[in-house]
Amino acid sequence: MVVAYESRSRHTAEAANRIADAFETYRAQVGMVPLGSLAPERLVATDLLVIGTWVEGLVLAAVGPAKAAMAAIERLPRLAGMPVGIFCTNFNPGGTLKTLQSVIEARDGQVIETAAFGRWRPVTPRSFAAGCSWSFRSVGPAR
């Protein structure tokens, strides 16, 4: 599996690292890569993709996924039913997760888990990984 992330101030990179560590407790082989550096050929050899981004915009309005994350996702090849977990880091993600889900689904990815991590959010990288793992077992790898 691959955990790809767009991080501006290291918060998203730290969350991605904690997610990767949590997946390793399930004995998964995890690769981490900045989202903008994710090579399409790397996706051929993976059966689960996790994408994370920071939230760009005003504090309470006009928030969404980082523009760099959206551009990187647009450059990805068709995901052909690949299971994808998505997360963002912000105390007020607004419609970020819905926007990411729409873009992933437009690329034929199957979103299996979503999470927003922030100071006041009870979701942890460990519970996110558990949810992805459970959902992945339910849907299986892309065919």
pLDDT given at position 143: 47
For the stretch 34-74, pLDDT in tens is 999 999 899 988 999 999 999 998 766 778 999 999 999 99
pLDDT given at position 138: 60
Question: Phi and psi (nearest 5°) for 135?
Answer: -65, -40
Closest CA to 80 of 112, 52, 43, 108: 108
Quote the CA–CA distance of 30 and 32 in Å, as a whole number: 7
